[in-house]
Amino acid sequence: MEDSFYSRELERLAAEGNLRSLTPLEHTGCEVVAAGRKLLNLSSNDYLGLGADRNLRAEFLSSVNQEEFFMSSSSSRLLSGDFPVYEEVESMLAGMFGKEAALVFNSGYHMNLGILPAVAGKDTLIVADKLVHASIIDGIRLSGADFYRFRHNDLDRVENILRQSSGKYRQIIIVVESVYSMDGDRADLKRICSLKRMYGNVAVYVDEAHAFGVLGSHGLGLAEEQGCIGDIDWICGTFGKALGSVGGFTVCSRVMRDFLVNRMRPLIFSTALPPASMMWTRFLLNRMSGMAPLRKHLSEISEKLRDALKRSGYPLLSDTHIIPMLVGRSDKAVEIAGRFRENGFFVLPVRPPTVPEGSARLRFALTANMSCDDIGTLIRFIGTSAL
């Protein structure tokens, strides 16, 4: 195979400031060690600090029944890989959300890649927010359904689309995230659900990846916070962020769960998650409702950083723990990230195609195991540096 084409493409990405590379890291609590230097980790999705909690890990390992502690499922769930712990986790999730059923997937990407192609086709219109995750976009494309991507959070446009199109399709699916991973802002789920109730053939799909564990009185996400769990057809989430584990899930009706088991290709044709990982997930889910102090602390330190960025003149949409610092050009974002790193902060530049051209940024993802002193040090650096 001739590599010259690919080499030229890599050179082009480097010239544009958009070349990516993997960075080996050692992890110690809310810090990472890179090239021998300890840095505050501002690029982790371990929002509650559970994945880095050694005491919690020790408690889990001491409670493990070795007879059930399989490191691999060794097959898909439709073959011999459906261990009891999967059903236990799904029953827990359904009970927590007050839904009929739940289904667990290997990852959030698998989840979004598989659900929409399973439930949508030529008789479906998918109406998706412009800023939904790449995995959702891939799922929409694979579905073969007609689709429209509306301007971010423009629900007036959604209302117009529903009015014009509700009689032309068997179903319309509104697809949004609850908290958007690049701007850290929220969807108006209550209004989306009110639009759904106006039509008999509209369903709602919400990805709570960045809200599950963090928002709501029990940590169930934005739908819990806004009081509309019952109106959403697919509430989706991931265990790999705030819960500190691995995998994705949806809570839905019993009929929908059974349908996905029969039609969802990433579920049917993938080796299931290791039972050991599912046992860790079960352990954490049992404790999630009691993690309100962690959620409160995360909210407080996030507010401090948002206020500091606003005082420094940065435009800000975020009202969550995901806080972008917009800088514009990719090369400038790379340069500023390097200066943060030199001063003890591990924060990565986010560049096209992850975000639109001209909107490169540094994305601060805060975690509950950061102290007020950690955030104070970060704020002082931002306030005293000519970035």
User: Residue 135: exposed, middle, or buried by beta-carbon count in 10 A (0-12, 13-18, 19+)?
Assistant: buried
Query: Rounded to whole angstroms, what are the CA distances from 168 to 42, 172, 203?
Result: 46, 9, 15
- pLDDT higher at 1 or 135: 135
What confidence score (pLDDT) does residue 329 get?
Answer: 87
- Is the sign of the CA dihedral 210, 216, 220, 223 positive or negative? negative
Query: Is 280 within 8 Å of 321 (Cβ atoms)?
Result: no
- Name the residue ranges covered by the structural domains of the chain: 14-48+291-384, 68-288
Q: How many CB atoms are closer than 10 A to CB 383?
A: 12
- The DSSP-derived string for 316-371 is ----SSEEEEEEESHHHHHHHHHHHHHTTEE--EE-TTSS-TT-EEEEEE--TTS-
CATH assignment of 14-48+291-384? 3.90.1150.10
How many Å apart are CA 108 and CA 257, to the nearest integer?
16
Q: What pLDDT band is residue 18 in, cutting at 50, 70 and 90?
A: confident
Q: Which of 248 and 183 is assigned the larger pLDDT?
A: 248
**Which 3 state secondary structure label does DSSP give 261?**
helix
- 3-state SS assignment for residue 123: coil
pLDDT at 153 exceeding the cut of 80? yes
Same fold, 14-48+291-384 and 68-288: no
Q: State residue 378's pLDDT score.
A: 95
Q: What is the pLDDT at residue 351?
A: 85
Q: pLDDT digits over 100-150, tens only?
A: 999 999 999 999 999 999 999 999 999 999 999 999 999 999 999 999 999
Residue 356: pLDDT band (50, 70, 90) is: confident
Higher pLDDT, 326 or 164: 164
Domain 68-288 has CATH 3.40.640.10: yes
Classify 312 as helix, strand or coil.
coil
pLDDT at position 357 is 85
CA distance 136 to 130: 11
What is the per-residue pLDDT across 224-265, written as a single tens digit (0 to 9) for each?
999 999 999 999 999 999 999 999 999 999 999 999 999 999
Chain-wide mean pLDDT for the chain? 94
Answer whether residue 350 shows pLDDT above 90.
no
